[in-house]
């Protein structure tokens, strides 16, 4: 599974937002990118679950070869039926998406990128079941799907805390939405915008500031 820019933005955006000694669950961990990004800036205990066995093997290898390995734990399995050892203070997820778009011919890539295996409704149920009553969660979605997901979250008793719209350049419309939810009923949810590259194809100062702790050449 390739490391995508939007996944890096997700990890960096939430790395400073989770409580320092929280318990965190990463649903659909892939090869462990989000887990390691969150561990780099916090003292949280971070668990991850991955359904693809090849990705899980690489996940296990990755989380065992860094200075945060004592706080990282990976599970193989399906979040819809897996029994976790605890409920979590924070859940982060970069779920399957593009369920109406052209699908990949590679079945493993389909599992990672398409919601034929895990719907947003099922994901929302899994989040609600595994989150502490005081907990919060963060999710990355294609921009055109955020309103649909927001309705599911509200129906499950969550409120949007903040929203980050991600654009490739100033001329492009948003292509990703990063959403932050909690079980409160505050009607105010600030919205932010992050542009990755400027008109000259260079990274914007906002992108550099967000990712400088994770990218080697910013």
DSSP secondary structure string for all residues of 43-84: --EEEEEES-HHHHHHHHHHHTSSTTGGGEEEEES-TTT---
Superfamily for the 5-211 domain: Vaccinia Virus protein VP39 (3.40.50.150)
CA distances from 22 to 17, 67, 129, 135, 153 (A): 11, 18, 17, 10, 22
191 burial level (CB within 10 Å; 0-12, 13-18, 19+): exposed
DSSP strands (E only) in 72-175: 72-76, 88-93, 131-142, 159-167
Kindly state the DSSP code that residue 145 receives in the 8-state scheme: G
- The one-digit pLDDT tens for each residue of the chain (218 residues) are 456 899 999 999 999 899 889 999 999 999 999 999 999 999 999 999 999 999 999 999 999 998 999 999 999 999 999 999 999 999 999 987 644 443 444 444 444 443 347 899 999 999 999 999 999 999 999 999 999 999 999 999 999 999 999 999 999 999 999 999 999 877 788 999 999 999 999 999 999 999 998 886 76
Global pTM? 0.89
Q: Under the phi-then-psi rule, with left for phi > 0, alpha for psi from -120 to 50, and beta for the rest, what region is 22?
A: beta
Q: What is the pLDDT of residue 100?
A: 47
Picking from 67, 63, 32, the residue whose alpha carbon sits closest to that of residue 50 is 32
Order of strands across the sheet with 176-182? 72-76, 45-50, 23-27, 88-93, 131-142, 176-182, 159-167, 191-195
């Amino acid at each position: 599974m390739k490391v995508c820019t939007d996944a890096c933005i997700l990890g960096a955006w939430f790395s400073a937002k989770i409580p320092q000694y929280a318990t965190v669950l990463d649903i659909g961990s892939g090869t462990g990118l989000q887990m390691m990004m969150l561990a780099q800036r916090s003292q949280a205990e971070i668990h991850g679950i991955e359904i693809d066995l090849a990705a899980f093997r690489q996940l296990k290898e990755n989380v065992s070869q860094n200075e945060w390995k004592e706080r990282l734990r990976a599970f193989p399995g399906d979040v819809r039926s897996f029994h976790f050892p605890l409920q979590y203070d924070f859940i982060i997820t970069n779920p399957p998406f593009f369920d109406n778009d052209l699908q990949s011919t590679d079945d493993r890539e389909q599992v990672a990128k398409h919601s034929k295996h895990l719907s947003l409704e099922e994901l929302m149920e899994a989040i609600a079941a595994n989150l502490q009553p005081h907990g919060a969660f963060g999710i990355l979605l294609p921009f055109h799907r955020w309103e649909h997901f927001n309705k599911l979250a509200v129906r499950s008793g969550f409120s949007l805390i903040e929203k980050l719209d991600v654009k490739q350049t100033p001329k492009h419309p948003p292509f990703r939405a990063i959403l932050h939810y909690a079980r409160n009923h505050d009607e105010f949810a600030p919205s932010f915008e992050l542009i990755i590259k400027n008109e000259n194809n260079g990274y914007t100062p906002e992108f550099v500031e967000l990712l400088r702790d994770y990218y080697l050449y910013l």
